[in-house]
Amino acid sequence: MRQKFVISRNDVKNKLRISEYAIIDKMPKYAVVQIRQDERYTLLGEETYSSEVVASSIAKGRGELLVMLRTKNLFPIEPYANKIVDSVIALYQSAEDQSAELFFDDIDLLPDYA
């Protein structure tokens, strides 16, 4: 499955939003696919967090932030969750509102049998 996570920080509203998207169209079997930013992603879920809670979790460490970001509606697998944590930390180290887009393809997680 190909996924995209959009992470947005808004200091005016004191919020962090993480939106999860995926391409749900059927792909041909054995197709070689590259992730493209212009593909049609469908929104799967979205979570909004208080910036105060996020900043507090960052101060306690990566593990605490990871636990806080995972919810019943947003529970990315560990490799993806670690990259999301890195992006959230980078956003909070910046002095201004920003956003980040992360693209993932599950095929990258499979061992190379070729």
Q: Is residue 56 part of a domain?
A: yes
Q: Is residue 28 part of a domain?
A: yes
Q: Is residue 42 part of a domain?
A: yes
User: What is the residue range of 73's domain?
Assistant: 2-109
Q: How distant, in Å, are the alpha carbons of 15, 33, 43, 97 from that of 84?
A: 16, 23, 17, 17
3-state SS assignment for residue 46: strand
Q: Is residue 114 part of a domain?
A: no
3-state SS assignment for residue 87: helix
Q: Is residue 16 part of a domain?
A: yes
> pLDDT for 21-78, tens place per residue?
999 876 655 555 555 555 689 999 999 999 999 999 999 999 999 999 999 999 999 9
Domain count, the chain: 1
As given in the structure block, the two tokens for residue 15 are 């919020």
What pLDDT does 77 receive?
Answer: 95
Q: Is residue 52 part of a domain?
A: yes
Q: Is residue 95 part of a domain?
A: yes
Q: Is residue 83 part of a domain?
A: yes
